[in-house]
Each structure stands twice: as C-alpha cells, then as structure tokens.
Amino acid sequence: MKKHLLSSALFLLSFIAFAQTSSTAWKTNFEPRKVFIENKSQFNNRVKETGSEILFGTERNHCGIYFTKTGLVYRFEKKERKHVEEDGYKSEKNREEEEHEIKTTTDVVQLTWQNSNPAVEIIPLEKASDYFSYEVKGKGINHVNAFSKLLYKNIYPGIDAEYVFHAQEGIKYSLIVHPGAEVSQVKMKYSGASKISADESGNIHFKTLFGDIIDHAPITFYEFADNATIESHFIQNGKTISFSLGNYDKTQTVIVDPWTTVPTLPSANSAFYIKTDTSNNAYVYGGDSPFRLVKYNSAGTIQWTYNTSWTGGDWFGALATNRNGTCFITRGSEAALTKIDSSGAFK
C-alpha cells in the first residue's frame, strides 16, 4: 500500500503515539529527537566535501547538520517518487519501473571556522538516556550515544563555542569569550549558499534551494551579571561573517549568543503502527526520511530509535512485534523486510 494511502487511513495516529496499561497512560509527539548523535560511520556518506571528519550530527525533517573540527555542514535532501500518469498504452512492467524512479534534490551549505585552532576539542555534554541504531548498506550500526550539548573547547585562543537546541526551533550557539580574549578572531566563512545578505534586523540570510538559513542577530551579555547586555552585531564581508562588540569589561567572561534556523521542509512525522510486547513496552513505526522504529517503555520514556535506510521516496510497509520485543518492519515497494531485536539492534 502506498505511504500516502496508509497515512490517510491511519490519520488518528498522526503525530501522536499512545500507550495505555492498567496503571499508566501516556502520550508523546512522534518527532525526531533534538540531540547531537555521535558519528560511528552512519553519517559518513551524507557529505563528501567537508574537508574534515564528521564527529556528530543531527537530522530532522529532511535537514542534516553535521559537526566537524573545522565547522558545520548543513545538508538538505528531498526525495520524491516519480508521478506515474495512467496510460493504457504502457505495460504494467513499465509503470512499475517508473514508480521505482526517485527524484532526489539536495543542497549543501558549509560553515568553516577560519584560522581556528586545529587541535580544538569537541566535548559532548548531557548524555541522553536513549540511543540510536542505523542500517547502512545492509550492516547495523547499533547503540550510538547522543547528547544535548556540544562544546568546542578553545576554538580560538580564550574562546569556546557551545551548541544546544533552541527552545523554539533551530540551533543556538554561544561564543564564550573568556577574559582577555578578542572576539574579532572569530570568522565564519560560508560556502554553497547562492546568496548571503543581511536584513534590517541584523540577521544574516543564506539562500538555499529550499529557503533561507537564518543566523539571528546576537544578544551579548556578561556571564555573571544580570540584565547587563553589550551592544553587538554581525559583520558581513562577502562570504565571511564576524562579530563586533561595543565597549565592555574585558576582565569578565562575555557570552555572544546568536541562534540559527533552517528552512522547514514538509515531513510526515506520523506514527503508522503501534505494537506492544508482554512487558507493555510500545514500539512505534513511522516517520519520513528516514522511516524509523521507536521503543518506549510502559511509562512512555523513550528507550531507543532505529533508523532505517528507507526514505520518503519509498512506500511504507508494516510492523510486527513478538512477545519479547523483537520487531519486523517492511517497506512496501520495493519490497524489503528488516529484523530488529528488543535492544534496537539491526539483525
């Protein structure tokens, strides 16, 4: 059955996974996790021209953000199955061949910290209790850790960069400028954007095929002083962005605090199937680019996420779960079946 037909038939499950036992009821949004996932080779094929090894990544709604020692890479990808017109002159075989053709559109924007410390240390902080598994080219990459925060320690002399997820949307990064350091050292060079421009609010726009990446103007303040902001703004010099600060006390630590939003691509973050095992753990199969299987315990706490290699260009299949939590998921077309054990590992 085609994914869009299945989605319509099961619309009551869209965006919500629900489980209930005799003593506990819970619900949650079936959205990709806001975490930075350690790269154990599952992200290696995402971007080839990084110039540096991908160490962490996060993927949501057709957008991947990948972190290297020298900067970040934003990668957008949209996959569409070719629309097949009803044509009585085409054979069934020809129609099926056309249905299997997928149009893929990608765009990549890369940020490079110019003249940054080549020995910078990237420290993951606030480890998540759940983990991730992947299938890549028929092999399992299992039980990968994730974190809520990344710290680039000493990215420039006396300056750290910290990445977290913004409370509303996007990624928030903070430059931690320690006493005596000069924020003028920080220079971010962008490549891949077809146009870079500033708006009247001081935000920087990076044009992509899918909309603008927006770096929102920084708010700057002392680390240990309440309500003491410092005048600050971006400086654009061609494809390079830097920062300008007003007068401030350089004996104190200063936080320069911009945040970045990315284009939102339509995504079917829907739960299509829900099964349980004898311990009342819930297994939810759904998502879009990629399809994913998520395990929640009987209290609704997420345990793990298994990411398939199947994307929005594929047709959705089905889920079966046995008593001990071993799961079998399928792709509708081209037909495929995968076995995942109760720990979320690809078998």
What pLDDT, on a 0 to 100 scale, did the predictor assign at position 10? 38
Would you give the end-to-end CA distance of the chain in angstroms? 25
Model confidence band, residue 96 (pLDDT cutoffs 50, 70, 90):
low
What pLDDT, on a 0 to 100 scale, did the predictor assign at position 128? 97
User: ∠ at Cα 312 (166, 13), nearest 5°?
Assistant: 75
**74-78, 157-161, 201-205: segment of lowest average pLDDT:** 74-78
What pLDDT, on a 0 to 100 scale, did the predictor assign at position 21? 44
What pLDDT, on a 0 to 100 scale, did the predictor assign at position 91? 53
What pLDDT, on a 0 to 100 scale, did the predictor assign at position 28? 85
What pLDDT, on a 0 to 100 scale, did the predictor assign at position 288? 79
Handedness of CA 80, 270, 331, 139 (dihedral sign): positive
State pTM to two decimals. 0.86
CA 251 – CA 245 distance, rounded (Å): 15
What are 242-276's pLDDT values in tens digits? 999 999 999 999 999 999 999 877 666 788 899 99
CA 310 – CA 289 distance, rounded (Å): 7
What pLDDT, on a 0 to 100 scale, did the predictor assign at position 92? 54
CA–CA distances in Å: residue 13 to residues 7, 16, 24, 184, 327: 9, 6, 19, 51, 19
What pLDDT, on a 0 to 100 scale, did the predictor assign at position 7? 41
Residue 286, CB-side half-sphere exposure with 13 Å CA sphere: 26
What pLDDT, on a 0 to 100 scale, did the predictor assign at position 1? 43
Q: For the chain, state the CA radius of gyration.
A: 23
Model confidence band, residue 15 (pLDDT cutoffs 50, 70, 90):
very low
What pLDDT, on a 0 to 100 scale, did the predictor assign at position 114? 96
- Which run of H or E residues covers position 171? strand 171-177
CA 264 – CA 283 distance, rounded (Å): 27
Residue showing tokens 């401030």: 248
Among 155, 171, 173, 57, residue whose Cα is nearest residue 113:
155
How high is the mean pLDDT of the chain? 86
The residue ranges of every structural domain in the chain are 3-31+269-340, 36-70+112-261, 76-105
207 or 62: which carries more pLDDT confidence?
A: 207
Average pLDDT (20-26) is 61
Q: Residue 290, preceding bond cis, omega within 30 degrees?
A: yes
What pLDDT, on a 0 to 100 scale, did the predictor assign at position 265? 73
Residue 219 pLDDT > 70, yes or no? Answer: yes
Share of the chain above pLDDT 90, in %: 66
Cβ–Cβ under 8 Å, residues 109 and 213: yes
What pLDDT, on a 0 to 100 scale, did the predictor assign at position 105? 86
φ, ψ for residue 196, nearest 5 deg: -125, 130
40 or 62: which carries more pLDDT confidence?
A: 40
309 or 162: which carries more pLDDT confidence?
A: 162
Cβ–Cβ under 8 Å, residues 309 and 322: no
What pLDDT, on a 0 to 100 scale, did the predictor assign at position 314? 74
What are 137-192's pLDDT values in tens digits? 889 999 999 999 999 999 999 999 999 999 878 899 999 999 999 999 999 999 99
Residue 9 pLDDT > 50, yes or no? Answer: no
Model confidence band, residue 22 (pLDDT cutoffs 50, 70, 90):
very low
Cβ–Cβ under 8 Å, residues 339 and 142: no
